[in-house]
């Protein structure tokens, strides 16, 4: 074992870890996705070209967020073209592809990506300030349940949104107290937050709703845009308000984090809290603020799940079902940057949308696309194909001297 | 991670020499003492009780019913028969505890090597899958070899599954928490697919029901207490106890355990002392996974016999193992006690519960709330120590305010 592990620390493996080589691999994969569908391999179903294409896109995002932008986005394009050609090539054989690949697929991709975008950006704020947030899943679950509760009791989805955000923020505040003030292990604390949210939402769901939401509660409306032409109208003409809000959040969070003094302070706390403290930044205040903000934001993702077009005003136990962790993965994949996290969230959303669509045809293909985000993240954190650079002080409690 | 805590608690040697209660507490805390876990459990039960109270139920009566539901009232009228309700409930609690001992050990062993194995749930699923596959295959084999094949296969599968995280950690530095979370979901979807509609392990008689085939009779574990058709307590419980002893011996009495603990205390010092850190990370993770895989085997061969996609979605035993291990301070004895508490909670709040104060659907979630609180408080043992220390300071006439303040902030 030891010799094998040592063998990974040589120049060849260093070159393998260089983002540039990842980019080239991604472009090759994109080409491979197209080749899969034509002779001699001639895959019957579009599953495999798409799977390979998604891996290519993922690697492209990876490369682009790690310094080799042109190469990375080139790889993303190669992956997209590969998927397109792969589908075209199999189209003649299959015939019912139109029912899978249509504008609703694009709309659903954005739909599935919405909670992931909120979660990824939320996690980014927390981790950029130096607090690891494994508890995203639980905070999202809180948002989902208390959102329904608020909408039901308050009679309006706006109340639901506010109550859901408050619940997520409150749980984040508890976590912040343990992680920052008591300097508890952040991974253990985050795990505890997930367990707590699972229990609390399950308990009160039973107490208040007897395990089922009866009657229609107010849901988040969609934004209807007319007159865009058939394609655009089908894909973005009927998205939830919260989906548009998630797009806006990506831009705003980029500006806040990288173009304002407060963003500089947040990043300083995540990279070198001692130095930040020395120049007069209140590390504790910044970290508290960021963790609570992350709870508020990820709870919006939860509210979207229950009150958005997919949940349509219902809640079920453990509704988030790992989406908080996929959001965490999207953040890691996007290298703790808003643009990268957004791209990864969209990709994972696409994978989920495909999983749903393909369920009709093949259980196997559906499972494959459900697993894909987790496999990609596993490969990503392994760092064999590039470097993941977390904020330097991420996860380290800070003790003032 | 643990570095800054030193400002708050005095060094153990210093603390022991002063001889106060708080000092002894801080020493026993480091040595794996009981004060913090006991306080944690009490606090978690009290807060859980407050939630029950706030929602209009009597917490004392609720806990009383859960206590009886877990079969703990058996001690007041013991009998070897499982025909009595208390006896049956107790056998079911022990059945749950057996699983939790093993999933708890899976977390504890990795902890001793300085790693947090959140992947117990996934490793448990892998064990279940392999045990079901091997248990269904080879029908007609004589029982002993069949059981051994299924158990060893599942254990190795769990070890391999966790080993992935260990190898990734050792070779590329990937954080085991993220990789085991991802492996959990991969295993979960794999199990859903394998047992699900037209999956390879789906039962052969009812193609619309997403449940596996039942294992062959030759692979079923013998029952030691109760009746085999009624989920009697099987020898899986004895296997779990044996695993506890193996864990204790491995950690405390072997070179392997010494190396694992050395890496857990301080990887740099261990490496300087000539210990191969990478090898030990992989080894510790694989052994952890073996315990969880064994848990899957014991459940599948012991009383589940078959498993479905819907069971996969609600299973939590791997996660409760985290609470068990943390509560048990990652020691063999502690894991045993922790597993009894949570085993009782699991059964006492579900099938065992017969109460007009709190219904099982509500009480089940009380278990998860208590589990969350336990993990939260154990993670912040500094809180309990701090309360203890400030009490001591209040008793003194001149409280050393400045260091106290520095400690909090």
User: Hey, are the CB atoms on B323 and A206 less than 8 Å from each other?
Assistant: no
User: Hey, are the CB atoms on A332 and B178 less than 8 Å from each other?
Assistant: yes
DSSP state at residue A224: E
With H, G, I as helix, E, B as strand and everything else as coil, classify residue B241. helix
User: What sections of A220-362 are H helices per DSSP?
Assistant: 230-236, 241-259, 261-271, 273-278, 283-307, 323-333, 338-358
Q: How far is A324 from chain B (nearest CA, A)?
A: 11
Instruction: Give the pLDDT band (50/70/90) at residue A356.
Output: confident
Q: What is the residue-averaged pLDDT of chain A? A: 83
- For A195, which of B170, B278, B368 is closest by C-beta distance? B368
- For B171, which of A8, A192, A206 is closest by C-beta distance? A8
Residue B35 has a CB neighbour count (10 Å cut-off) of: 18
Q: Any CB–CB contact under 8 A between A211 and chain B? A: yes
| Residues 1-60 (B) with a CB less than 8 A from some CB of A | 1, 4-5, 7, 51, 55
Q: Any CB–CB contact under 8 A between A185 and chain B? A: yes
Q: Choose the mutation target among A378, A380, A387, A398 for the interface with B, i.e. most B CBs under 10 Å.
A: A378
Residue B370 neighbours by CB under 8 Å, 6+ apart: A199, B44, B45, B48, B345
Residues of A in contact with B4 (CB under 8 A): 183, 397-399
- For B196, which of A134, A363, A398 is closest by C-beta distance? A363
User: Hey, are the CB atoms on B189 and A370 less than 8 Å from each other?
Assistant: yes
| Residues 298-327 (B) with a CB less than 8 A from some CB of A | 313-314, 319, 322-323, 326
What global pTM score does this model have?
A: 0.84
List, for residues B21-32, the tens digit of each pLDDT value: 444 444 444 544
User: Hey, are the CB atoms on B282 and A1 less than 8 Å from each other?
Assistant: yes
Instruction: Give the pLDDT band (50/70/90) at residue A3.
Output: very low
d(CA B291, CA B50): 36
Q: Any CB–CB contact under 8 A between B375 and chain A? A: yes
Stated as kind and residue range, the H or E segment containing A393 is none
Q: How far is A387 from chain B (nearest CA, A)?
A: 10
Q: Any CB–CB contact under 8 A between A8 and chain B? A: yes
| Residues 150-179 (A) with a CB less than 8 A from some CB of B | 174, 178
What pLDDT does A28 receive? 77
Residue A211, token pair as written in the block: 């395990």
List, for residues A187-228, the tens digit of each pLDDT value: 889 999 999 999 999 999 999 998 888 888 888 988 888 877
Mean pLDDT (whole number) for A27-54: 69
Find, among B59, B11, B262, B383, the residue nearest to A178 by Cα: B383
What pLDDT does A165 receive? 96
Q: Any CB–CB contact under 8 A between B287 and chain A? A: no
Contact status, residue B196 vs residue B208, Cβ threshold 8 Å: no
Nearest residue on chain A to B368, alpha-carbon basis: A199
- A310 by Cβ neighbours in 10 Å (0-12 / 13-18 / 19+) ranks as middle
Residues of A in contact with B185 (CB under 8 A): 322, 325, 371, 374
Q: Any CB–CB contact under 8 A between A325 and chain B? A: yes
Q: How far is B90 from chain A (nearest CA, A)?
A: 24
A136-140, A313-317, A395-399, B148-152: segment of lowest average pLDDT: A395-399
Q: Any CB–CB contact under 8 A between B143 and chain A? A: no
Q: Any CB–CB contact under 8 A between A13 and chain B? A: no
Instruction: Give the pLDDT band (50/70/90) at residue B392.
Output: low
Contact status, residue A95 vs residue A69, Cβ threshold 8 Å: no
What pLDDT does B19 receive? 43
Q: Any CB–CB contact under 8 A between A359 and chain B? A: no
Q: How far is A346 from chain B (nearest CA, A)?
A: 19
**Strands A238-240, B233-234: pairing kind:** unpaired
User: Hey, are the CB atoms on A199 and B368 less than 8 Å from each other?
Assistant: yes
Residue B366, token pair as written in the block: 């009380």
Determine the angle formed by the axes of helices A283-307 and A323-333, rounding to 10 degrees. 130
List, for residues B156-212, the tens digit of each pLDDT value: 999 999 999 999 888 877 888 889 999 999 999 999 888 887 788 888 888 888 899
User: Hey, are the CB atoms on A378 and B183 less than 8 Å from each other?
Assistant: yes
What pLDDT does A391 receive? 78
d(CA A321, CA B366): 20
Residues of B in contact with A182 (CB under 8 A): 380, 382-383, 386
- For B172, which of A203, A364, A382 is closest by C-beta distance? A382
Q: Any CB–CB contact under 8 A between B199 and chain A? A: yes
Q: How far is B379 from chain A (nearest CA, A)?
A: 5
What pLDDT does B346 receive? 92
Q: Any CB–CB contact under 8 A between B404 and chain A? A: no
């Amino acid at each position: 074992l030891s010799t094998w592990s040592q063998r990974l620390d040589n120049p060849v493996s260093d070159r393998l870890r260089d983002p540039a080589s990842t980019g080239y691999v991604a472009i090759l994969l994109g080409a491979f996705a197209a080749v899969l569908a034509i002779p001699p391999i001639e895959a019957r179903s579009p599953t495999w070209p798409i799977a390979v294409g998604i891996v290519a896109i993922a690697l492209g995002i990876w490369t682009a967020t790690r310094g080799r932008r042109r190469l990375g986005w080139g790889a993303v394009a190669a992956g997209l073209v590969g998927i397109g050609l792969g589908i075209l090539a199999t189209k003649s054989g299959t015939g019912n592809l139109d029912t899978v690949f249509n504008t609703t697929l694009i709309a659903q991709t954005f739909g599935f990506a919405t909670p992931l975008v909120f979660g990824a950006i939320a996690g980014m704020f927390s981790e950029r300030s130096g607090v690891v947030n494994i508890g995203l899943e639980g905070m999202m679950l809180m948002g989902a349940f208390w959102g329904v509760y608020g909408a039901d009791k308050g009679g309006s989805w706006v109340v639901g949104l506010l109550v859901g955000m408050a619940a997520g923020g409150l749980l984040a505040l508890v976590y912040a107290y343990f992680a920052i003030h008591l300097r508890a292990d952040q991974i253990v604390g985050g795990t505890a937050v997930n367990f707590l949210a699972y229990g609390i939402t399950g308990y009160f769901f039973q107490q208040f709703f007897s395990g089922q939401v009866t009657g229609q509660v107010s849901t988040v409306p969609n934004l209807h845009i007319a007159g865009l032409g058939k394609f655009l109208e089908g894909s973005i003409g009927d998205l939830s308000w919260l989906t548009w809000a998630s797009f806006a959040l990506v831009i705003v969070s980029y500006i806040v984090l990288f173009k304002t003094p407060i963003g500089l302070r947040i990043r300083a706390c995540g990279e070198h809290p001692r130095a930040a403290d020395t120049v007069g930044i209140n590390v504790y205040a910044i970290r508290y603020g960021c963790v609570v903000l992350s709870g508020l934001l990820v709870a919006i993702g939860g509210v979207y799940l229950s009150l958005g077009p997919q949940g349509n005003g219902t809640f079920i136990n453990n509704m988030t079902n790992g989406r908080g962790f996929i959001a965490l993965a999207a953040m890691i994949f996007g290298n703790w940057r808003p643009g990268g996290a957004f791209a990864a969230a969209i990709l994972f959303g696409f994978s989920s949308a495909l999983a749903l669509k393909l369920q009709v045809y093949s259980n196997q293909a559906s499972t494959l696309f459900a697993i894909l985000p987790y496999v990609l993240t596993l490969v990503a954190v392994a760092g064999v194909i590039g470097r993941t650079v977390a904020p330097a002080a991420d996860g380290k409690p800070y003790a003032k001297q | 991670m643990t570095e800054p805590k030193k400002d708050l608690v005095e060094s153990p040697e210093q603390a022991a020499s002063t001889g106060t209660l708080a000092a002894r507490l801080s020493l026993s805390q480091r040595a794996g003492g009981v004060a913090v876990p006991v306080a944690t459990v009490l606090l978690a039960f009290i807060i859980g009780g407050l939630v029950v109270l706030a929602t209009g139920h009597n917490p004392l009566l609720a806990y009383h019913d859960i206590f009886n539901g877990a079969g703990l009232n058996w001690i007041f009228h013991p009998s070897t028969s499982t025909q009595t309700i208390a006896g049956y409930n107790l056998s079911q609690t022990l059945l749950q505890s057996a699983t939790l001992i093993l999933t708890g050990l899976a977390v504890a062993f990795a902890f001793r090597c300085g790693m947090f194995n959140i992947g117990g749930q996934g490793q448990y699923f892998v064990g279940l899958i392999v045990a079901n596959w091997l248990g269904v295959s080879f029908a007609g084999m004589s029982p002993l070899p069949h059981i051994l094949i299924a158990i060893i296969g599942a254990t190795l599968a769990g070890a391999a599954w966790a080993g992935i995280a260990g190898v990734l950690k050792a070779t590329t530095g990937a954080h085991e928490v993220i990789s085991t979370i991802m492996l959990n979901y991969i295993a979960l979807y794999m199990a859903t697919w394998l047992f699900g509609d037209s999956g390879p392990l789906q039962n052969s008689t009812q193609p619309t029901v997403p449940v596996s085939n039942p294992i062959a009779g030759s692979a079923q574990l013998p029952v030691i207490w109760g009746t085999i058709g009624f989920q009697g307590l099987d020898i899986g419980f004895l296997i779990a106890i044996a695993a506890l002893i193996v864990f204790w011996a491995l950690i405390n009495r072997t070179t392997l355990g010494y190396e694992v603990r050395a890496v857990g205390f301080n990887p740099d010092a261990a490496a300087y002392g000539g210990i191969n850190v990478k090898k030990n990370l992989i080894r510790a993770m694989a052994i952890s996974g073996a315990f969880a895989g064994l848990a899957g085997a014991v459940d599948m061969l012991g009383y589940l016999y078959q498993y479905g996609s819907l069971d996969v979605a609600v299973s939590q035993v791997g996660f409760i193992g985290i609470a068990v291990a943390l509560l048990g301070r990652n020691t063999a004895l502690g894991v045993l006690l922790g597993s009894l508490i949570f085993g009782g909670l699991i059964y006492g709040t579900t099938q065992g519960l017969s109460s007009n104060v709190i219904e099982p659907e509500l009480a089940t979630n009380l278990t998860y709330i208590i589990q969350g609180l336990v993990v939260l408080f154990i993670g912040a043992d500094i809180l309990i120590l701090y309360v203890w220390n400030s009490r001591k300071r209040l008793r003194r006439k001149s409280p050393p305010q400045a260091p106290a303040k520095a400690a909090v902030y």
